[in-house]
Structure 1
Amino acid sequence: MDKSYDPFKYSSDSLEDVAEQISDVLKCPITIEDVNHRLLAYSTHSDSTDPARISTIIGRRVPEKVIHSLWKDGTIPALLKSQEPIHVKNIKEVGLGNRVAISIWKNNEVLGFIWAQEINKSLTSNELDLLKKAANAVQNKLLYLQKGKMKKEEREQEFFWKLLTGNTLRHDDMADGFYQLNKTMPPIYSVVLFRFTKPITEKMEKQLNYLLETTQLVHICLVTIDYNELILLVSPKEEQPLNQIKQFLRVMEKQMMQRYNIEHFAMSIGGIYSDISSVHIAYKEALAVLKVKERYLSDAEHLMSFSELGIYQYLDVLAEKRKHNRSPNYPLSQLEKYDNEHHSNLIETLETFIDSDSNVKTAAKQLNVHVNTLNYRLKRIQEITGLDLKNVNEKFSILLEIKIRNMGL
């Protein structure tokens, strides 16, 4: 075949027609995706196509389990580095048959991918050259779509900031905003925050956007970036919404580290709401969680959502009140005196015991001591302080005092 032969030189304006044309030339089913694996166009296919292709067409994007497998076997990392066709062997676990994939590039940026499914045949070297020419032909069409998407994202971000700052207070205005953006108003939602130690670069923004576009754990309604913060409006399914958002955060954390080596960031979740006029409240709550995590470090490291803050919501207020009350807390001062004189750690013991819901076995395991040893220490604490460790009010009061002391408030 003449190497200069290019059947796609004068391709149609329609991506769907281009997909059909590539399929006719290569004699195999074709799908064209954007860089975040959303389906842009596909050719017709016979009944022998595989489940992964069918699911992609029905869902208008590649299933998350397929994307994960393609990262795991090295296919997607290779596509993000090479302009050459990549052979993909079948992955039975996710219903993916043999394929050849090629990235669509513009300068040093990947715009999307073309996937050619090999059914009862393998593409020849000449056909692989034709696939490269097809990628060149699709390039300008994807650039045009990308520009339109960028304008839409700008409108979305402007609207999102109005919601986050509470500047759009009328419910009708909010409903109209979602309608203008061709989005459905979420029936249930929360605001999620990722705060990084460094500003979010353009490269990092694309990586984060990729993860958000490909997740199917929650629906990402709106996205914006503020210096070193990624702010999301997410809508979970109505069953166990908080658990679903937590799972989404855990998966995001894992994928950021494994795929892009992004580390050192904090995550938080605001309250769960159904009234769209509460977005600014959920945002403030997510910020409050990050403030607590940063201020109380290891004590609050495990906290993720506003509903989990518990007493940490009130420590600042209590600490301020304590400043005006010059007299020290007697039980705590007695324990501090005893610990200093005997080089012991009865305050840590008491805190761990109460934090463990007064469960001696759990607390003993946390402290790495025998149960009998812990019981002796608790008895000694009661003798020194006069505390009744069966009294909920007394235990809660001393726990607050210990937390305030630990944080240096």
Structure 2
Amino acid sequence: MTELDASIGRAFERAFDSLEALADTISESLQSQVTIEDDHHNVIGYSSHQLESDTARLSTIIERRVPNSVLSGLRKKGILQLLESVSHSVRIPAINEIGLGARLAVCIKNNHAVLGYIWVVDTGNLVEGHAERVVEKSAEIAKRFLLKQRSWKAKQDKTHDEFIWKLLTDCYQSDSMIRKDAEALSLLLPDCYHIVIFECNVPINDEKVARLRLALTAKSQARLACLTASQNHLIAILSLYSTASNKADLTSFIHAFVQGVNEKKEVTITAFGCSGKYDKYTRASNAYKETLHILSLKKLLPFHTRQVVHYDDLGFLMHVPSIIEHKKNSDYSSPLLQLLREHDRESKSDFMKTLATYLSLNCNAKDTAALLHIHANTLNYRLNRISEITGQSLKNSNDFVSIYLDILTEETSSINQWLPSRQDRND
């Protein structure tokens, strides 16, 4: 055993209480700067840098995460792919276009699962062989530390999830009990809150929850109290930091988050909804049901709910499922709509489609004619004939509301075929 190998044993055969301590020990052994990252390239340990630090390392330390420009450059050069595919350390030449000097790096792995990375700045003073043994020994130490940390975090996440689901399923009797349990879990519950559900195109596992949590907390407007997932639903309990913030601010925050997530294309948020504002956590189950109701209605009537974000945006639409259920149980159907169905069947006309489109477009004749690809005069003729057939005037508010509700509840599947989906229409 060489003196250098003996020094590795003396320096690293001890317990490390943090990855910062490990980074400092590597730095002392190699007389160079060291950064340790997790599998998402967040900085979890680093040695004190000196004046010769390159821009890539300085930016990483300041942001506590490797900049996207650096990650992109490393991916394009195939460096990250190489690190993740081999079991030994790799010397990396400088990449000036991304501000990265020469490095000695190793991927921290458990079997084939990536846990993180160790990067050592190479200014030409790293002794070949010795430096590799130091970082590879350090990777083993970091692996044990990260696996232990993951085990603790998994237990903590499970406890947090249990608390959240007790909230959402109405298991608490008082707000004081809720706040006591939250305090024990080091969860800071805001005075007022909303529950937001983001429906995604794929199931949300723990890794995706962690990434989406980072994206949510990166937005400075909102305070995230709790976050969990159920199948393809990401469920957040949050509030806005500013007491002067209003509903429009919350809407902007939600839209910005959705846009940011969808642009990355790792997960696509296909629908979302936000509950009303609550100040009692014993009513969290009500808030949760409100948000689920929004998502349910977005599937039932996608065109009519295309702009809905908040529960109170639904208006009378929130009652449509109950009316549908009532009609099924009572075997009731509108006699007025039956007249239109019979006329359409006998005359091969499109009066039901015309009326449904006209009412769904807020009685806007221009938009209705454009969507139906007919002349405005043709539309006026059809509307007059509909009034003659049904004996009802669309200018009477009672008749208008009754006919509209009947169409929404009895012609639901047809109306979704007649009208564009929310993806097809921006207004």
Q: What is the DSSP-based 3-state SS (H/G/I as helix, E as strand, rest coil) of the residue aligned with 2:190?
A: coil
1:244 aligns with 2:253: yes
Structure 1: tracts of 5 or more residues without a match: none
Give the C-alpha shift of residue 285 in structure 1: 1.5
CA distance in 1, matches of 2:74, 2:334: 57
Give the aligned partner of residue 287 of structure 1.
292
> Relative to 1, partners in 2 of residues 1:174 and 1:71: Cα closer, same or farther, differing over 3 Å?
farther
Q: TM-score, normalised by structure 2?
A: 0.73
* Pairing of 1:49-198 with structure 2 (within 5 A): 49=53, 57=61, 61-62=64-65, 85=90, 89=95, 97=100, 102-116=106-120, 127=131, 130-193=134-197
> Relative to 1, partners in 2 of residues 1:368 and 1:42: Cα closer, same or farther, differing over 3 Å?
farther
Give the C-alpha shift of residue 322 in structure 1: 4.1
The superposition leaves residues 237-258 of structure 1 with CA deviations (integer Å, 9 ceiling, x where unpaired) of 5441233124324444554xx3
Q: What is the DSSP-based 3-state SS (H/G/I as helix, E as strand, rest coil) of the residue aligned with 1:247?
A: helix
Q: What is the DSSP-based 3-state SS (H/G/I as helix, E as strand, rest coil) of the residue aligned with 1:314?
A: helix
Give the aligned partner of residue 209 of structure 2.
209
CA distance in 1, matches of 2:151, 2:341: 64
Q: What is the DSSP-based 3-state SS (H/G/I as helix, E as strand, rest coil) of the residue aligned with 1:223?
A: strand
Contact 2:298–2:306, Cα closer than 8 Å, also in 1: yes
Give the aligned partner of residue 421 of structure 2.
none
> Relative to 1, partners in 2 of residues 1:311 and 1:63: Cα closer, same or farther, differing over 3 Å?
farther
Contact 1:236–1:245, Cα closer than 8 Å, also in 2: no
1:359 aligns with 2:364: yes
CA distance in 2, matches of 1:70, 1:274: 47
1:15 aligns with 2:19: yes
The superposition leaves residues 373-404 of structure 1 with CA deviations (integer Å, 9 ceiling, x where unpaired) of 43443344334334433444433322111110
CA distance in 2, matches of 1:349, 1:164: 43
Q: What is the aligned-residue RMSD (CA, Å)? A: 4.3
> Relative to 1, partners in 2 of residues 1:280 and 1:57: Cα closer, same or farther, differing over 3 Å?
farther
Structure 2: tracts of 5 or more residues without a match: 415-427
Give the C-alpha shift of residue 364 in structure 1: 3.3
Aligned AA for 2:251?
L
Structure number with greater Rg is 2
CA distance in 1, matches of 2:126, 2:372: 64
> Relative to 1, partners in 2 of residues 1:309 and 1:388: Cα closer, same or farther, differing over 3 Å?
same
Contact 2:198–2:269, Cα closer than 8 Å, also in 1: no
Contact 1:188–1:235, Cα closer than 8 Å, also in 2: yes
Q: TM-score, normalised by structure 1?
A: 0.76
Give the aligned partner of residue 422 of structure 2.
none
Q: What is the DSSP-based 3-state SS (H/G/I as helix, E as strand, rest coil) of the residue aligned with 1:147?
A: helix
Contact 1:242–1:272, Cα closer than 8 Å, also in 2: no
Aligned AA for 1:208?
K
CA distance in 1, matches of 2:12, 2:159: 35
How many residues are treated as equivalent by the alignment? 396
Give the C-alpha shift of residue 210 in structure 1: 3.5
The superposition leaves residues 90-133 of structure 1 with CA deviations (integer Å, 9 ceiling, x where unpaired) of 676xxx74575643211232223334467x77989755665444
Identity over the aligned pairs, expressed in percent? Answer: 28
CA distance in 2, matches of 1:157, 1:324: 38
Contact 1:11–1:18, Cα closer than 8 Å, also in 2: no
